[in-house]
Amino acid sequence: MKGWIIIVLMATGSATAPVAAHSLKDVESALHGRERYAQFVDTKAPDFQLTDLAGKPLSLTNLKGQVVVLNFIYSRCTDVCPLHMVRIAKLQSMVNTAGMQNQVQFVTIATDEEDVKSTRQIMAGYAKSYGLDTRNWRFLYRTSAQPAGTTRQVAEAYGLKFTPAGKGVQMHGVVTHVIDQTGRLRARFHGLKFEPVHLVSYVNALANDDHNKQSLGRLKGS
């Protein structure tokens, strides 16, 4: 079937046979117990109204019709956030190599409270440093008119706290969120130890899920 990839699921300490995924349910069942860092949910994803590197407005609603891989970072972080972006770049490369570039949008939201101009400059550097493909990766931040804590509040709406802890430091966890084409949050991959192929397999299943396509069609027709 065009657009599908073959998933090889590796369980730590035990061998497993290759698994061909044919539905979202199949993938969730296959990953359950094999990917300890994945949490599958089904709830409306909180919307946001932010701007990209060029200052162009973008909301989650604007991205309906695509699977969204969303992560939050503090752009001035010097330890775990750069590692998170290395992981995002790898995921994007795998997704695009699998031919899903037009079906999947990567979104990174910075939780900085510093000024808009310097934060955008830092994130523009992230794109170059980590080889992110800007055709399906967007960096979002607040406008100058929005309160300094705007993006931290968005992160909290997704269940992730970024707590200021002195100049140039925010304490926070690491989560990669997966949102389906209809704007529903479907999975959280916690930390940096999950297998990238597992997330890519899940994204692939969402992108090809007939139920999501039908739901999106009803939304567009309403």
pLDDT at 6 over 90: no
pLDDT at 182 over 80: yes
Q: What average pLDDT is seen over the chain?
A: 87
Q: What pLDDT does 98 receive?
A: 95
Q: What pLDDT does 216 receive?
A: 57
Q: What pLDDT does 164 receive?
A: 86
The backbone region for 144, taken as left when phi is positive above 0, alpha when psi lies in -120 to 50, beta otherwise, is alpha
Band the pLDDT of 127: cuts 50, 70, 90. Answer: confident
What is the set of domains in the chain, with CATH numbers? Answer: 35-221 (3.40.30.10)
Percent of the chain with pLDDT over 90: 77
Q: Do residues 112 and 75 lie in contact, with contact meaning Cβ atoms separated by under 8 Å? A: yes
Q: List CB contacts of 189: < 8 A, sequence separation 6 or more.
A: 35, 37, 38, 39, 175, 176, 177, 178, 198, 199
By DSSP bridging, strand 104-110 and strand 137-140 are parallel
Least confident of 11-25, 129-143, 151-165: 11-25
pLDDT at 65 over 70: yes
Q: Considering only residues 5 and 61, tell me which one the structure prediction assigns the higher pLDDT.
A: 61
Q: Considering only residues 13 and 199, tell me which one the structure prediction assigns the higher pLDDT.
A: 199
In tens, the pLDDT along 9-55 reads: 433 333 333 334 458 999 999 999 899 999 999 999 999 999 999 99
Tell me the mean pLDDT in the region 76-105: 96
Tell me the mean pLDDT in the region 156-166: 92
